[in-house]
Amino acid sequence: MNNGRVILNISVPTTIGKQIDSLAKEENKTRSELIREAFRVYRFQKSWSKIRALGEQTAQRMGLESYDDIEKIAG
């Protein structure tokens, strides 16, 4: 039984490996915990980028140029 986990073997340059180890030690985390957290942050940022892009497209389509314009239509 694998407890719902997948083992990934990755390679990184030595300098990045040392930085990962140093940061993990500083934050009292394992390498795995640090990499999992980094992935969650990456995924969040990608999702947020998509949301911002959609917001920008909508603002352009509606002719909104400032937060004041948003306030005017929001009431």
| pLDDT tens per residue, range 38-48 | 999 999 999 99
- Average pLDDT over the chain reads 90
Q: Where are the domains of the chain?
A: 14-74
| pLDDT tens per residue, range 26-39 | 999 999 999 999 99
Q: For residue 21, which of 5, 9, 32, 6 has the smallest C-alpha distance?
A: 32
User: What does the alpha-carbon distance between residue 60 and residue 27 come to, in Å, rounded to a whole number?
Assistant: 43
Predicted model pTM = 0.67
Residue 17 confidence (pLDDT): 97
User: Which band of pLDDT confidence, cut at 50, 70 and 90, is reported for residue 65?
Assistant: confident
